[in-house]
Structure 1
Amino acid sequence: MSQLPALLVAAIALVRDRRVLMVTARDRDVHYMPGGKIDRGESAAEAAAREAFEEVALELDPDGLVELFEVVVQAHGEPEGRLVRMRVFRAETDAAPAASAEVGELHWVTTADVDRCPPAGAEVLRRLAASGVID
């Protein structure tokens, strides 16, 4: 059996008041990091900035994003063995995020919300909590 290619994605971690911004898609209750697939010819930081604008209306400079870590876990809603490789970047902005047409709602979450997240988001919450930036 051939190995399915990993899904390469980038996401932002916007932390305020010891909570991190997550979103839900329309008509779904799963919380996920603002982000998405890295397009051909695009760096992970460029993808994270583009997706942040598309999903939560934040204009971020890719050169100002600092990569925190990469999460590699089973991809949510994909066949067993298909992994997601999510590169997570710290976002710094005073702008107010706003839900776009692709996003149902914004949520400021802590580790108390880990059971509402797919595997990658849950791992991001655990790592952010371990580094002391969220509760």
Structure 2
Amino acid sequence: MTIDKIAWLELAEGRILSTRSKGKDVYYLPGGKREPGESDVDTLVRETREELTVSIDPSTAVHEGTFTAQAHGHPTGVTVQMRCYSARYEGVPTASSEIAEIRWLTYEDRPRVSPVDQIIFDHLHKTGRLS
């Protein structure tokens, strides 16, 4: 089984915006699962608005890569496929009701994120975008 998710990559000064949901012990990139009939960009816009109260500009969305790993907190063999996008936004990232914490992470924080995010961190570090 594969869980299909969309994530927003927001990088600044070698750090990446991450969130920790209430009741979770690791950080995740902002985003989530698509609803029926949604495109990747529709999901990106909805999820970032729900989680961080920011407005993504859909015309600026750029696919940055697709990454797959064991799904955190799921039985062995359940994977997550994360389609990652960067995009400009308006507003100030603010934690919504489901988000306990927003934090800017660096590559040193890699052990504190989900397995798929670790792969994304490796890619961003190797390409010089994550310090």
**TM-score normalised by length of structure 2:** 0.94
d(CA) in 2 for partners of 1:94, 1:8? 26
Runs of 4+ in 1 over 3 A off after TM superposition: none
* Aligned pair partner of 2:120 in 102, 116, 124: 124
Q: What is the total number of aligned residue pairs between the two structures? A: 131
> How many angstroms does 1:78 deviate by?
1.1
**AA aligned opposite 1:77:** G
Deviations 1:89-126 (A, max 9, x none): 01223632111101001010011001011101111111
**AA aligned opposite 1:123:** I
d(CA) in 2 for partners of 1:96, 1:134? 21
Aligned to 1:10: 6
Q: Is the 2:19–2:27 contact (alpha carbons within 8 Å) kept by the matching residues of 1?
A: yes
**TM-score normalised by length of structure 1:** 0.91
d(CA) in 2 for partners of 1:106, 1:44? 23
1:111/1:37 Cα in 2 relative to 1: closer, same or farther (>3 Å)?
Answer: same
* Aligned pair partner of 2:129 in 114, 129, 133: 133
Identity percentage of aligned residues: 32
Unaligned runs of 5+ in 2: none
Task: Indicate yes or no: 2:99 matched with 1:103.
Answer: yes
Instruction: Name the SS for the 1:67 alignment partner.
Output: strand
Aligned to 2:41: 45
